[in-house]
Amino acid sequence: MKRISAQAVTKAVRDMCISANRYQPEDVKAAIKAGEAGEDSPTAKEVFRQLSENIDLAAGTGLPLCQDTGLAVLFVTLGQEVYVEGNLSEAINEGVRQGYGEGLLRKSACDPFSRKNTGDNTPAVIHYDIVPGEALRIAFMAKGGGAENMSRVMMLAPAEGWEGVKKFVLTRVAESRSNPCPPIIIGIGIGGTFEHSAKLAKLALMRKLDDVNPEPDLAAKEEELLGLVNRLGIGPMGLGGRHTALGLKILTSPCHIASFPLAVNIQCHSSRHEEVEL
Ligand code: SF4
């Protein structure tokens, strides 16, 4: 049995909140650099150049990558042989509280009706998975409002299948236009239930941009749909270009025989996420 203190959890979450809001993951940085070279239009090239400059400025100054430092979303994978000394959820929320406070990050959490800010960016949205083993893995994502607002869940008829998925995703991206600050990353969850598909879609955004789906059929589907999305021509910041999306990732799960749940979680170019293992 491995023992982990609540303080260690809090510190890890605090550090990720600050660091993810300052430093883009290497795969996103590389995709943005490649985007500039891959555009023909001077406007699209200039947008990509400014995005790269913004990444360098944030890393150099310690200022956040974007003024919207997001709602804190955490995926916790808890090994059954781990004993956390203290309340795990409270330790995570304390980490968010400290990270957003000490990192001078904007607090975006508020009551949905009164719009009163909770003051410390808590409560975080925490998803738990229990697995065998002695490891505690925590993945943090700072999810901005602009891109999250463009996301949707749809219960397709089973007969709609892949064609239905493509139609829904393309319509969603086309209707979103510049709102989610493209170039976007698209997380797609297919299967499970209504809420499980949404969780899968968000989890898909944690995958690296340059990974290849281990299931060849899904890898082909990801490539096909990413190509179709980029043919929409919305381009970086909606100003036209070849790159509407930097990546498109699909996760699936078995579903009810009468259902075809489909969730599309849209992520802006400022894809701020990190993982740690304790
Ligand atoms: S969508 Fe992303 S880049 Fe745009 S304002 Fe929100 S967090 Fe910032």
Closest CA to 267 of 38, 57, 95, 20: 20
- 179 CA distance to ligand 1 centroid (A)? 9
How far CA 99 is from CA of 74, 105, 228, 232, in Å, comes to: 14, 8, 39, 38
For the chain, what is the radius of gyration of the CA atoms?
19
User: pLDDT digit string (tens) for 84-111?
Assistant: 999 999 999 999 999 999 999 999 999 9
Global pTM?
A: 0.97
Q: Using the atom order of ligand 1, give the atom closest to the CA of residue 69.
A: 7
What confidence score (pLDDT) does residue 140 get? 98
pLDDT digits (tens, 9 = 90+) for 182-239: 999 999 999 999 999 999 999 999 999 999 999 999 999 999 999 999 999 999 999 9
Instruction: Please state, in angstroms and rounded to a whole number, the distance separating the CA atoms of residues 68 and 172.
Output: 22
pLDDT of residue 179: 98
How far does residue 172's CA lie from ligand 1's centre (Å)?
A: 17
- Terminal CA-to-CA distance of the chain, rounded, Å? 13
pLDDT digits (tens, 9 = 90+) for 246-277: 999 999 999 999 999 999 999 999 999 999 99
CB neighbours of residue 170 within 10 Å: 15
| Distance of alpha carbon 202 from alpha carbon 153, whole angstroms | 12
Residues with Cβ within 8 Å of residue 99, at least 6 apart in sequence? 13, 14, 15, 16, 17, 18, 105
Confidence of residue 135 (pLDDT cuts 50, 70, 90): very high
Instruction: Give the alpha-carbon dihedral of 260, 194, 73, 7, to 10 degrees.
Output: -120
Tell me, in angstroms, the distance from the centre of ligand 1 to residue 181's CA. Answer: 6
pLDDT tens-place string over residues 136-178? 999 999 999 999 999 999 999 999 999 999 999 999 999 999 9
* CA–CA dist 63, 61 (Å, integer): 5
Q: In whole angstroms, what separates CA 173 from the centre of its chain?
A: 16
pLDDT of residue 177: 97
4 CA to centre of ligand 1 in angstroms: 34
pLDDT one-digit tens code per residue, 107-127: 999 999 999 999 999 999 999
Ligand 1 pocket test, pick from 268, 269, 271, 273 with the greatest ligand atom count within 8 Å of Cβ, gives 268
Tens-place pLDDT, residues 35-73: 999 999 999 999 999 999 999 999 999 999 999 999 999
Query: What's the CA gap between 264 and 182, in Å, rounded?
Result: 15
